[in-house]
Amino acid sequence: MSVTTTPHLNFRGDARAALEFYHSVFGGSLVVVTNEDAYSVELPEEAGQVKFGQVTSENGFSIMAYDVPAGVSYDQGEKSSFVSVRGDSAEEIADLWGRLSAGSTVLQDLAPSAFSPAYGMVQDRFGVTWVLDVAVAYDRAG
Write out pLDDT tens, residues 53-102: 999 999 999 999 999 999 999 988 877 789 999 999 999 999 999 999 99
Percentage with pLDDT > 70 across the chain: 95
Per-residue pLDDT band for 1 (boundaries 50, 70, 90) equals low
Whether 74 and 12 have beta carbons less than 8 Å apart is answered as yes
Domain ranges of the chain: 8-67, 82-134
Sort residue 100 into left (φ over 0), alpha (ψ -120 to 50) or beta.
alpha
CB 117 within 8 A of CB 94: no
Residue 12 has pLDDT above 80, yes or no: yes
Rg of the chain on CA atoms, in Å: 17
pLDDT at 141: 62
In sequence order, what are the beta bridge partners of 87? 134
pLDDT at 93: 95
The fold adopted by the segment(s) 82-134 is 3.30.720
